[in-house]
Amino acid sequence: MDIRRLAATLPAWEVQCLLDVADEYSLYGAERKLLLAIRKHENGAVGLELGVGAHNPDHPARRFSDAFGSLQCQGRWAAGTIRKRYRRGDLPGFAQVYCWEDWQAWLRSVSQLINM
């Protein structure tokens, strides 16, 4: 699975940060591409780059208030969710966990990014 096309759509420093996080969480192949696709799809501002806790002021990630606003922290939460909840080939199931509010639209968008 080639992630170069997707990686080329993001700033190089963000790709490197997220790939370092992927290494830390032992994410490979489709899981690495999913992490980058989440970043591209969510396109959050600084501190919400991967959408972690965007609509939940009580999100557990916020207990790390000093680090919460970093791409690395956002990446780690997303990577942890991928490692724990993503089963190869079950992107719809993962979408329902990651973006339960509008998982079908999230799934369409992230699927397109993964398949680019």
Query: Residue 44: its pLDDT value, please?
Result: 85
| Alpha-carbon span 103 to 47, nearest angstrom | 22
Q: What is the pLDDT of residue 61?
A: 57
Q: What stretches of 25-56 show up as alpha helix (H) in DSSP?
A: 30-42
**pLDDT at residue 60 in the model:** 58
Q: Are 47 and 69 within 8 A, CB to CB? A: yes
Q: Does the global pTM surpass 0.85?
A: yes
Residue-wise pLDDT tens digits, 16-26? 999 999 999 99
- pLDDT-flagged residues of the chain (< 50): none
